[in-house]
Structure 1
């Protein structure tokens, strides 16, 4: 049973009559000798204005008080206990006045409580509505967070897979590298028919160095003017797709090429091109083209290094096949990492280790200790500072991966010490950089705590 429904006013007449019958009946049944119970203080008849006033308000309480007074007078009259109304009122003046005051006061008092209750209930309902809305918003935000976590996890997985594939290229021999690049792209973007062509400085035909899929439109030798897409890619040194040509003009009849992406060396020269003639239609999107362009940018660097890259690095003393790149080439690598972030939102990190105030003679030992922690696909460089130092570029590695690398290096340095001073570590990301100069400027401003 709902108490609010029971306590809600229904009919003042019915309630007043019922209360009057109950009180009068009790009076006649238990104390017939004292009609109106004027001998009792307080009189039970005060319940009539008290209950009615508390239930229906001031006016109803006063009227109920008048009714209670009249009911007492009537009982006294029929019992022969007074000769006139004035006589009865004079005998019990305070009782009859109390009927009126109790009714009015009870009405006002309980009216105030009722108003407070209504306001409290309204406030409670408002709060409950707010809580329900807040709960709904929390559930929605929780769902959004779960979806964002899923997307971030998927994104991290994609970046991790891309990073792993790129590092695998560095461990590939020069002869197998062209095929490895194509296989890499097949796994990432599902290329079915594609080839890599070497671009010589002469104006001769392009020579195929690797292919996957069918050879129908991928000849062993490809003329530079064989396709408009090839010509544009060589002229602009950038990726060109068939949809881009279709937006400008009609291509040659039966154009078999879907896209052409150049591979550049550190000097900005095109050393090879990727020609794609077959891939699933659903995969041929702008996102896929961006990913192919990214892979070709880094693959061009890997191919360039595999062909020698004389003068761009030196071998670390006592560490065979461990390269330490020059400052100029390191800036070129920073440019590739910055492009990957600006175009594709793929993070990279630069970590700088130094021994501030230590003698320059510690440089060789410092290099030997740190270079062994550098993985294939990371780039270490000497920036030409006076104190012993080493800068490491971690392509496609964000804050979390960079911190793991830093902790690994710190642990290794502790085990290979002691060092004359405490090792200082700085980390730089590409979030606020507009160009390589900004990245280099930040190198001296961000310290890992």
Structure 2
């Protein structure tokens, strides 16, 4: 363990002990000199006053300016006493002794001042060290708390591994398996509202179906969290139908909409890619901490996702195939309205590859898709095949990593190996600037139902 600065700092003795030690050091050297040469105990006759200079130097370095200066004065007094004792005059040979006396006092003063200076700096460092130690201790405690919270969160996620993407995927798969017939919102509207409330932390809301004439149908309203009195002619509801986008309190105030005594916090439309509104969700209660721009943005995106899900489910019930152009157009709209970038990957298989190799490569690619990824195969004009992979909510920088991983996966497939050189992977960014028609090849032939979501 590394010692602290408090352990390294020298501990000074008490004041009385310091005075006693300073006197002892100052008088010890003259006594030693008297034992060596009783006729010249201070060794002044040798031309060097080192015996007297040692005491002020040691005392000054050890105890500072005051005791160093005092030790120098005592040494000067000893010089006077020595002159009086041996020569009968305190100032005998003043021309020699006066410079020595001044030198002794200066030695004690300089050594003591230097010791005091370094001691003050050491004390300053001690104060700073203690302050930093307190901050470090606080940081360690917060870090330990954060680590425990992170471990608890990891355990909770391990117990519930499904993400929002997985939940949307599962909901879409369930709606694809619906049998024709019946009113979808009447049969499954409560499930849609519960899904939105669960993933957007809504406490109370109402799902109000909208007719094809874009009129509210309050008689079929479905409530979550309890029913309250709500005006079906509320200005926020009408503004949502008119503007075909989510309306919250802030946007309503910015537009000058009358919201006096309005119970609504936000109105989220379930709107598809064709701008048809299937229903609106009127939110009347949600946690205050979640009522911010980012969370409202999530509500708008979920409303659009559920609207597209309702559109696809209706096509399924009517026996229609999935419109991949509409699927791309959906994310073009999200990129344009919500700045959510996606990628459209095109994987071209050369005609030199056999059908078995192409099938193996496509299966390996489709097996690694994420929850919301979509893929489909088209025939090009030269009879070669192209696999489109739609990667929602993916930045352009991820394409390089994705392409390298695909090449490694296909190279590891039996029967492909070096044939990977006949596979070309390209990328288009869905940023809202180009339409789905421009992103997809206009001359693409009808899809081959080999690769699917």
TM range (shorter): 0.5 to 0.7
Q: What is the match of residue 167 of structure 1?
A: 169
Q: Secondary structure at the match of 2:302?
A: helix
Q: What is the match of residue 180 of structure 1?
A: 191
Q: Residue 65 of structure 1 contacts residue 100 of structure 1 at CA under 8 Å; is this kept in 2?
A: no
Q: Residue 298 of structure 1 contacts residue 336 of structure 1 at CA under 8 Å; is this kept in 2?
A: no
Distance 1:427 1:407 in 2: 13
Deviates most, 398-407 or 231-240: 398-407
Match of 1:274 among 260, 277, 280: 280
Distance 1:305 1:207, change over 3 A: farther
Residues 279-301 of structure 1 deviation map (CA, whole Å, 9 limit, x = unaligned): 46758835664443221111111
Q: Residue 56 of structure 2 contacts residue 107 of structure 2 at CA under 8 Å; is this kept in 1?
A: no
Distance 1:195 1:381 in 2: 34
Do structure 1's residue 232 and structure 2's residue 230 form an aligned pair? no
Residues 60-93 of structure 1 deviation map (CA, whole Å, 9 limit, x = unaligned): 7876565334322333358xxxxx999x86xxx9
Matches within 5 A, 1:338-349: 339-340=337-338, 342=339
Distance 1:112 1:59, change over 3 A: closer
Q: What is the match of residue 285 of structure 1?
A: 291
Gaps of 5+ in 1: 79-83, 315-322, 443-449
TM, length-normalised to structure 1: 0.60
Distance 1:283 1:34 in 2: 92
Distance 1:197 1:187 in 2: 20
Distance 2:252 2:308 in 1: 28
Distance 1:415 1:258 in 2: 54
Q: Superposition RMSD on alpha carbons, in Å?
A: 6.1
Distance 2:292 2:268 in 1: 13
Distance 1:212 1:361, change over 3 A: farther
Deviates most, 3-12 or 62-71: 3-12
TM, length-normalised to structure 2: 0.60
Match of 1:306 among 313, 316, 340: 313
Distance 1:353 1:52, change over 3 A: same
- Structure 1 residue 338: Cα displacement: 6.1
Q: What is the match of residue 373 of structure 1?
A: 368
Distance 1:113 1:440 in 2: 88
Match of 1:392 among 389, 393, 414: 389
Q: Residue 163 of structure 1 contacts residue 396 of structure 1 at CA under 8 Å; is this kept in 2?
A: no
Q: What is the match of residue 318 of structure 1?
A: none
- Structure 1 residue 264: Cα displacement: 2.1
Q: What is the match of residue 345 of structure 2?
A: 352
Distance 1:209 1:361, change over 3 A: farther
Count of matched residue pairs: 399
- Structure 1 residue 236: Cα displacement: 0.5
Gaps of 5+ in 2: 1-8, 179-183, 440-453
Distance 2:265 2:72 in 1: 96
Q: Secondary structure at the match of 2:416?
A: coil
Matches within 5 A, 1:130-141: 131=129
